[in-house]
Structure formats: C-alpha cells, structure tokens
Amino acid sequence: MSNEQPTEPTSEEMRLLAAWRTFFESNCKAEFAALSSIEDSVWGFEIQWEALEAHQGLGTSFMSNRLKCLESGSIVLEEQFALHNLMPRPVIRIIGFPELNRYHINDLRMRDRTRFLRFDAVVHSASRAMGWLKHSAYQCNSCKHEWKIDEQLARARKKAEVCPLCYKIARNMLLDDADLKDIPDARNIKMDLESNYYEDVQYMELFDPTSLKGDALPEDVPTIMAVVTDEYVDQFSPGQCLTVNAVIGVDHLPSRDYLRDTRRILRLDVHSIEEGFSLHEE
C-alpha cells in the first residue's frame, strides 16, 4: 500500500522540530513583529544560510535531506505565525549560500541531477502563471477516513483505489476466514474536491550571464527551464538579473515524438531567489 498510516515522529524528526523551534525563538522575533501588518496570502520567510548552518546542525540536515528539513521547519514556522497572529501562509526561503554551492548554468550535465546549487542567471522569458494539484485529498464513504496523496508536478495524477484503513481491516478479516458479506468494501472512496491543495507555479527560461552581449537580450542562447512557486510567480521579467538557489531536476523532452521517449532535459527546481548577481565574475 502506498498510503501508510500516520506514525509518531522519529527521533530525527523530533530533533529537527526542536532545533527549528529554538532557531526561530532565538533569531526571528523581530521579523515576526515586523510582519504584523502584511496582507499577502503567501509570505516568503527569508533565512540567511550562515545563521541556519550555525544552529544545532540545521545546515547539515538541509544539505543531507532538504525536503525533510524544510518540512519540519515549515511546521514550526506555521506554529510561530499562528502564535503571532500572522495571516499569510509562510514559505521558508534560505538565501546567502556559500561559494561552495556556486555553479554555472552552461556547465550543467545529467550527472548534476539532485544537487543543490547556486547560479547567477538572467531571465530570458516566463510562461503564464498557472496552478498544479500538489496534494489530492480522498475520503472513504464507509469509515469516513480521510487521507492525502502527494502528487508530482507535470506528471499523471496518482489514482487512489482503496481506503487504506478498510483495506487493512478487510485483509485481516480474510486471514481470519470471516464471512465475505461482513468485509468492508475498501473501494468505496471519493475524491474530496474541496480539500485538494493547489499551488501557484510558473516556468521561466534562464541563461548564463556570460552570454550577455550589450544591453539587448540575445535571441539564440542556451537556456534552462526553472520552476518557481508561490510568491515568486509573476515577480520576474525578461532581462532581470538574479541569483537562483535550486535543486537540479530532470524533465521530459518537450518535443518528444512518442510516449516512452527516454530522452530528458535538466530543469531548476527553485528554492529561493535573490535579486542581482551575487557571485558572477565580472
């Protein structure tokens, strides 16, 4: 079964939650007070890498398991926003990464996939803003159990076929030779459309600053697709100079001519953006 039942936090998860709590309490009280009047629906909460790295192993945790580290931090940050009566949904954006993470767009290859890197980049173009289904929600008509499935961007939606609780009960009853008429129908489920969670997303084409020639944007230049979400959507325009901190991902070839084409292209799954070139060699 892909839908496992909730379990107690592991010791590592407990450690991360505790470290994030002391980090926000020690470093961010002034920021919380300053945000009392904001009206944005989503707020990118920027954290300097130097401060994060110095606090109880959070820097190491971020680099070794970025998603788990950010998930724990988001839980604590949402708690802090609630305690300070702040309305927006916060998104952690870590900035100021060191020279060690520096890379050039033109040097990226498939061997770099999954790496977390930092780039100087120029915006070449941007798609229209859109949304995607990040978490699909389901409910069992029999036992009323509710659960969510994490989806993947630009991939087929995962199809829930059975209620995980009813399936577990039915399996145990079958093992105990129960009467078939007494076994619950685990397939009696529905998607809870109102609880589906959507996220704003936008695609931007970026290119390396070394391709700049004069003030005009070059027309024929190697670009890479970058995926931005939430408060970054519709914030950047062609010609803008940025520092981009991102995970290197892979995607289908846009012009693939058959369904199972194995060719792939690299993309940047953007974690945070800083305006201007911070690391570009002039």
- Record the pTM: 0.84
* Residue scoring higher pLDDT (107 or 177): 107
Asked if the model's pLDDT at residue 173 lies above 70, the reply is yes
Q: Within a domain: residue 280? A: no
Q: Same structural domain for residues 121 and 66?
A: no
Phi-psi region at 85: left, alpha or beta (left = phi > 0; alpha = psi -120 to 50): left
Residue 255 vs residue 41, higher pLDDT: 41
Regarding whether 239 and 125 lie in a shared domain, the answer is yes
**DSSP secondary structure of 146-206:** EEEEE--TTSPPPPP-S-HHHHHHHHHHHHTT--GGGS--TT-EEE-GGG-EEEEEEEEEE
Question: Do 75 and 107 reside in the same domain of the chain?
Answer: no
pLDDT at 280 over 60: no
How many domains does one find in the chain? Answer: 3
Which tokens hold the place of 161?
Answer: 């076929």
Confidence of residue 1 (pLDDT cuts 50, 70, 90): very low
- Model confidence pLDDT, tens digit, residues 92-102: 999 999 988 99
Give the pLDDT mean for 217-241. Answer: 91
Residues 275, 244: Cα–Cα separation, whole Å: 9
- pLDDT of the residue at 180: 78
Mark whether 123 and 259 lie in a shared domain.
Answer: yes
pLDDT tens profile 102-155: 999 999 999 999 999 999 999 999 999 999 999 999 999 989 999 999 998 888
**From 182-191, 194-203, 243-252, 271-280, the region with the lowest mean pLDDT:** 271-280
CATH of the domain at 33: 3.30.1640.10
- Judged against a pLDDT cut of 80, whether residue 6 lies above it is answered with no
The angle subtended at Cα 200 by Cα 265 and Cα 89, nearest 5°, is 130
Q: Where among 196, 218, 236 does a domain terminate?
A: 196
pLDDT at position 36 is 81
Torsional class of 43: left (φ above 0), alpha (ψ -120 to 50), beta (otherwise)? beta
Residues 89 and 58 in one domain: yes
pLDDT at 278 (0 to 100): 77
Task: Please indicate, yes or no, if residue 86 is contained in any of the structural domains.
Answer: yes
In a domain, 5, yes or no: no
Instruction: Give the pLDDT of residue 279.
Output: 57
Which range of residues forms the domain containing residue 206? 101-131+198-275
Three-state SS at 232:
helix
- Whether 262 and 247 share a structural domain: yes
The number of beta carbons lying within 10 Å of the beta carbon of residue 186 is: 20
**Position with higher pLDDT, 265 vs 217:** 265
In a shared domain, residues 215 and 111: yes
User: C-alpha angle 79/81/82, rounded to 5°?
Assistant: 65
Verify that 238 and 108 share a domain, yes or no.
yes
Is 74 domain-assigned? yes
**Where a domain ends, among 41, 70, 95?**
95
Residue 104, classified by CB atoms within 10 Å of its CB into exposed (0-12), middle (13-18) or buried (19+), is middle
Please check whether residues 39 and 142 belong to one and the same domain.
Answer: no
Mean pLDDT, to the nearest integer, of 9-26? Answer: 92
Q: What pLDDT score was predicted for residue 215?
A: 67
Q: Residue 67: what pLDDT?
A: 93
Please check whether residues 22 and 84 belong to one and the same domain. yes
pLDDT at 44 over 80: yes
Question: What mean pLDDT, rounded, does the chain reach?
Answer: 89
**Domain-located, residue 4:** no
Give pLDDT tens digits for 60-79. 999 999 999 999 999 999 99
219 or 117: whose pLDDT is higher?
117
Whether residue 197 is predicted with pLDDT greater than 70 in this model: the reply is: yes
CATH code at position 147:
2.20.28.10
Question: Strand 116-126 to strand 241-252: parallel, antiparallel, or no bridges (unpaired)?
Answer: antiparallel
pLDDT for 179 equals 81
The answer to whether residue 253 is domain-embedded is: yes
Whether residues 147 and 242 share a domain: the answer is no
Q: Is residue 150 part of a domain?
A: yes
pLDDT on residue 2: 44
Regarding whether 209 and 240 lie in a shared domain, the answer is yes
Does the residue 282 lie in any domain? no
Domain boundary pick from 168, 196, 224: 196
